Amino acid sequence: MELQSSYPPPFRRPSGPAPAVAPDEGSRTTNQIQEQDPIPVVDLQRLDVEGERLGEACRAWGIFRVVNHGVPLDLLTRLRDRARRLFSLPFESKQALLVAPLSYFWGTPVLTPSGSALLGGAQGVNWVEGLNVPLGQLPLLGDGGGGGGGGDDDDEVVTAVASLRNLLQVYGVHLARIAKLLFRAMAEDLRLDPAHSKSYLSESTGFVRLYRYPHCSKAGSDMSGMEAHSDSSVLSILCQDEVGGLELYKDEQWVQVQPVPDALIVNVGDMLQAMSDDEYISVKHRVKVKKPQDRTSVCYFVFPGQDSVIRSSKYRPFTYGDFQAQVQQDVKTLGFKVGLPRFKLD
């Protein structure tokens, strides 16, 4: 039994090789899983006739699957594979070389982006490590990735980042297209004022967050990969692998979101809930680490334009910058995000 050298120190526990995912767990298609899975499905190629279905999904669930999205399945597979390769490299090399404009984190992406505050132990640590990638700054990575040259492991990080960058450039174009199509249909469903809503979603704000949730070898483990939260975005679009673990909160219970290889998961964020006057739900969700396999996922987030003022009958006017500053202040003083209730009208 060897320690996982690619894991941050608190995650290093004696473990054997992670077993492969059973075929019946990881190879189901959208059609096969729909009968037993309640998550709504939206066909991107039929948005002109599925506007009502989209609106119902956002109001009742705040989350839905998107099929016929136009992103090649091979691109999704290669993107997850490159992410796995990067995360599998030695922790010390990743920590040293994954620098601006990238942001490497572990433990939690909100409270301790560098993970340095958690070096003393694993108590209270979310079972996750990850990488923030601002898509607008991808060209700054150049051919050399995040830096490098210090050794074979460092060179591997540089090579892995460069390879990932090339895939993310293509992926980012696809995801921006999907986000714009969905938001246009949502704005029509909500009858938003075009004069206000045209700046409510800005492609330039898009960024990708890569996650690895290390597996737990302990039998019956139920570790928290990500605590229950809502996203601060307008929309979040998730590409998850076959391992699973994502859960959403609905009707006072947690519902598992089963992996489907040919679909993307879209959830409503806080900004869109405010824009909709609380008609749409910024869904609360979490990730549980229950299986003896690492889980890898890639999530795209998009936000309003920097100076866009969100106007709502339920909230006082605010920009995303106002919201972000309040969240950071609450995390600093209270230890957690309060979110939209801070902006509610009396």
Q: pLDDT per residue over 267-315, tens digit each? A: 999 999 999 999 999 999 999 987 788 999 999 999 999 899 999 999 9
pLDDT computed for residue 242 by the predictor: 92
Residue 23 lies in a domain: no
Q: CA 327, CA 95: separation in Å to the nearest integer?
A: 26
pLDDT computed for residue 201 by the predictor: 96
The residue-averaged pLDDT of 8-25 equals 57
Q: Give how far Cα 325 sits from Cα of 6, 63, 105, 210, 315, Å.
A: 33, 26, 20, 23, 16
Residue 3 lies in a domain: no
Which of 296, 299, 269 minimizes the C-alpha distance to 133?
Answer: 299
Bridging pattern class, strands 41-43 and 63-67:
parallel
pLDDT computed for residue 178 by the predictor: 98
Return mean pLDDT, the chain: 85
Tell me: pLDDT of 107 over 90. no
Q: In terms of C-beta density within 10 A (0-12 exposed, 13-18 middle, 19 or more buried), how is residue 266 classed?
A: buried
Which of 235, 269, 257, 232 minimizes the C-alpha distance to 110?
Answer: 232
More confident residue, 146 or 226: 226
Which of 125, 160, 120 minimizes the C-alpha distance to 141?
Answer: 160
CB 159 within 8 A of CB 94: no
Q: In terms of C-beta density within 10 A (0-12 exposed, 13-18 middle, 19 or more buried), how is residue 217 classed?
A: middle
Which of 137, 144, 147 minimizes the C-alpha distance to 168?
Answer: 137
pLDDT computed for residue 24 by the predictor: 38
Please report, for the domain that includes residue 133, its CATH number. Answer: 2.60.120.330
Q: CA 182, CA 216: separation in Å to the nearest integer?
A: 37
Q: What is the DSSP letter of 133?
A: E
The residue-averaged pLDDT of 92-97 equals 90
Give the angle subtended at the CA of 330 by the CAs of 326 and 333, to the nearest 5°. Answer: 135
Residue 306 lies in a domain: yes
CB < 8 Å & 24+ apart, contacts of 335-341: 335/111, 337/110, 337/229, 337/232, 339/230, 339/232, 339/270, 339/282, 340/270, 340/273, 340/274, 340/282, 340/315
The residue-averaged pLDDT of 222-248 equals 92
The residue-averaged pLDDT of 96-113 equals 76
Residue 92 lies in a domain: yes
Residue 346 lies in a domain: no
- Looking at 70-74, 96-100, 147-151, which range is the least confident one? 147-151
Residue 237 lies in a domain: yes
- Which helix (H) or strand (E) is 297 found in, with range? strand 295-303
Read off the tokens for 233: 């975005």
The residue-averaged pLDDT of 119-129 equals 61
Tell me: pLDDT of 15 over 60. no
Tell me: pLDDT of 89 over 70. yes
pLDDT computed for residue 218 by the predictor: 59
Give the angle subtended at the CA of 139 by the CAs of 135 and 144, to the nearest 5°. Answer: 120
Q: CA 17, CA 25: separation in Å to the nearest integer?
A: 19
Which of 336, 333, 337 minimizes the C-alpha distance to 323?
Answer: 337
Domain total for the chain?
1
The domain in which residue 168 lies consists of 29-319
Q: pLDDT per residue over 209-219, tens digit each? A: 999 998 876 54
pLDDT band at 222 (very low <50, low <70, confident <90, very high): low
pLDDT computed for residue 174 by the predictor: 98
Q: pLDDT per residue over 170-184, tens digit each? A: 999 999 999 999 999
The residue-averaged pLDDT of 84-111 equals 86
DSSP per-residue letters across 94-131: HHHH--TTSEEEES-TTT-TT-GGGTT--TT--S-EEE
Residue 36 lies in a domain: yes
- Which helix (H) or strand (E) is 235 found in, with range? strand 235-240
Which of 220, 245, 238 minimizes the C-alpha distance to 295?
Answer: 245
Tell me: pLDDT of 23 over 70. no
